[in-house]
Structure 1
């Protein structure tokens, strides 16, 4: 039981659980916005009172076109918000704090073990053989 408790109380597991719950709540919020505010507004311009009630009937089968359009709009809004409020700021932050790799020092081969050592080295770091510094 102790191992399970340590696993659950680790920071990344708790953070992931919080992120999933907040994501679900945000998705419900965007769905409600789409279904209750946005698509009725679009439906008012299109002459349809309830946009989600648009159905296409083919051979006795009902296709919920309006509900699908609501889902697509919800997805696009969620994706746009995540991109502009999470992905872009995190990418900018990572780019700002990215360290550039150190420039590589000139190297030459050790005559004994053929490993690459700095030009100014007098002893090989791998085989400890004495080497003359390269000119």
Structure 2
């Protein structure tokens, strides 16, 4: 059972997925900072100096923090758009690699031998 688990855990796809999750978490922090520190204040200035995080609706003891929800939606849209652009860029590079003509193959042993025979025959003439 240990050997099977080790084979599974060390497959390239699992490692790629783990790396993707770690990078995604770090990227999420960057986007959260971008939204919290840059975009949200700009939107707040555009709508009259209102802080989105402070937007809430109170009804009795219940508090609906719809400003926090709006900020989370903005986070999601930015992350989704960034991932879309990243995947589009990667796809563009993959297409360029696929469209490249293959490099000429190295001559086989037979071709090398035939070339040498041809060259020897030319020298004798």
Q: Under a length normalisation based on structure 1, what TM-score does the superposition of the two structures give?
A: 0.62
Higher strand share: 1
The aligned runs of 1:1-135 (5 Å cut-off) are: 1-48=2-49, 50-86=51-87, 88-93=88-93, 97=98
Matched positions, count: 97
Q: Under a length normalisation based on structure 2, what TM-score does the superposition of the two structures give?
A: 0.66
* Structure with greater contact order relative to length (CA < 8 Å, sep ≥ 6): 2
Q: Which runs of 5+ in 2 are unaligned?
A: 100-125
Q: Which runs of 5+ in 1 are unaligned?
A: 99-135
Distance 2:43 2:34 in 1: 13
RMSD value, Cα: 2.1
Distance 1:58 1:48, change over 3 A: farther
Secondary structure of the 1:71 match is helix
- Which structure 1 residue ranges, 4+ long, deviate > 6 Å from structure 2? none
